[in-house]
Structure 1
Amino acid sequence: MYVPQHFAAPDLQAVHELLDHSGASDLVTWTPRGIMATLLPFVFDPAAGEHGALLGHLARNNEQWRHGSDAEALVIVRGPDAYVSPSWYATKREHGRAVPTWNYVTAHVYGRFVAHDDPAWTESLVRRLTGKHESDRPLPWSVDDAPEAFIKGHLRAIVGVEVVITRVEAKWKLSQNRGPADVEGVTEGLLTGTPQDHLVAEAMRDTQRRTAG
């Protein structure tokens, strides 16, 4: 991924937070029929391997898990993103030399692909996934809420997958190439928009805090 220095991730903690808080991401691997991609929810395990791992599962009928074991895989993790209007730039009002752009946070995670055709491994993964997405709910659902035979049937229909991370290319494109007045204008403009726009504004301010000084 092309990452100019001024759009580099502010620090490793920010990258880990992105991996930890992300919902679903694209798993991309090579198969005999060519490149294949599947959108999957992942759990980030920072303690696995040297750089951590992303854990998920595929449908057993999805041929992607049968190919490329131990080969390199790519997971495309997306943070918030939003359109940026040139009307928000203070400098646009001064000289008019401004065009639209897009602000976003993303990470390309590369690693060794491992398939886990093991019900115990997959059940542990499913419990971690549901815990991640249910823990803050008023009435959190648990795997134990469903009949055991029902859960076992579902586990037979999926296969665990793990991407043991070897490197991460992360990009925080959040107007760092603009002056302070333009950055503030973009932030304020985003705060008048959608909830997704608000998340980008929050990411901009968080990045400023992390990189200050």
Structure 2
Amino acid sequence: MHPHPAFRWEDRPAIRDLVRDIGFGALFAATPDGPRVAHVPVVWLGDDTLGFHLARGNGLARHLDGATALFNLQGLDAYVSPDWYGAGPDEVPTWNYVAVELEGQVTRTDEDGLVAILDAISHEQERRLAPKPEWTLAKVDPARTAKLLTAIIGYRLEIRAWRGTRKLGQNKPDAARLAAADALAARGSDRIAALMRGAK
């Protein structure tokens, strides 16, 4: 879906928070074998840098170092029936969603960088499981860790272009947008309904 200018989302701190909260998305890049995608956990290594890792055998792995790649993160989404707007018969179905595209150059890390990425990803996810004691890589037998590190490669994505989209009915009259939000909430889609209610 081509984003309408009304749906453009340029709030970088909020985009960073969404990427941090979800922590998983799709990385796309061109290869000599055609376009490829890998589904990757990610973590912020700085304001404009994402860290991630791939299995060494992944079809993208050998082509990424120095390449331009696009990381896509899909947030909340929901189908919106035209009947919910209460605006007459000329409305059509649509899909509301929140999404982020981050484009930049990929650099392969050394082993220390890979370990730092693994530690950061597990820390970010494990802290959410409190009061469970946090799992760390230090709990793994060193021989097992050494074997693991030969099977994966760490990367940094230095972001050069940020493209955020929040398509939440901002192009509709307030009454129609709020009516659709109420209909979604009644069907259990409370989170996207709340975003629609706050959309301007």
TM-score, normalisation: structure 1: 0.85
What is the distance in 2 between the residues matched to 1:205 and 1:148?
51
1:186 to 168, 180, 189: 180
What is the distance in 2 between the residues matched to 1:58 and 1:113?
12
> What is the RMSD of the two structures over their aligned residues, measured on CA atoms?
1.8
Conservation of the 8 A alpha-carbon contact between 2:29 and 2:60: yes
What is the distance in 2 between the residues matched to 1:9 and 1:53?
19
Unaligned runs of 5+ in 2: none
- Alignment partner of 1:173 is 2:167: yes
- Alignment partner of 1:44 is 2:48: no
Conservation of the 8 A alpha-carbon contact between 1:43 and 1:128: yes
Equivalent in the alignment of 1:136: 128
Equivalent in the alignment of 1:158: 152
Conservation of the 8 A alpha-carbon contact between 1:80 and 1:104: yes
What is the distance in 2 between the residues matched to 1:17 and 1:129?
15
What is the distance in 2 between the residues matched to 1:38 and 1:154?
19
What is the distance in 2 between the residues matched to 1:6 and 1:22?
24
Equivalent in the alignment of 1:104: 97
> How far does the alpha carbon of each residue in 1:13-43 deviate from its partner, in whole angstroms, 9 at most, with x for none?
2222222222321111111111111111111
Q: Which amino acid aligns with 2:79?
A: Y
Give the secondary-structure state (helix, strand or coil) at the position aligned to 2:180: helix
Q: Which amino acid aligns with 1:169?
A: R
Task: Measure how far apart 1:44 and its partner are.
Answer: 2.2
> Residues 7 and 108 (structure 1 numbering): CA distance in 2 closer, same or farther, change over 3 Å?
same
Conservation of the 8 A alpha-carbon contact between 1:119 and 1:156: no
Q: Which amino acid aligns with 1:190?
A: L
2:67 to 68, 71, 84: 71
Task: Measure how far apart 1:68 and its partner are.
Answer: 4.1
1:202 to 191, 194, 197: 194
Unaligned runs of 5+ in 1: none
Stretch of structure 1 that moved more, 120-129 or 16-25: 16-25
How many pairs does the alignment contain? 198
What is the distance in 1 between the residues matched to 2:53 and 2:64?
15
Q: State the identity as a percent.
A: 30
- Alignment partner of 1:55 is 2:48: no
What is the distance in 1 between the residues matched to 2:185 and 2:26?
28
2:111 to 119, 127, 150: 119
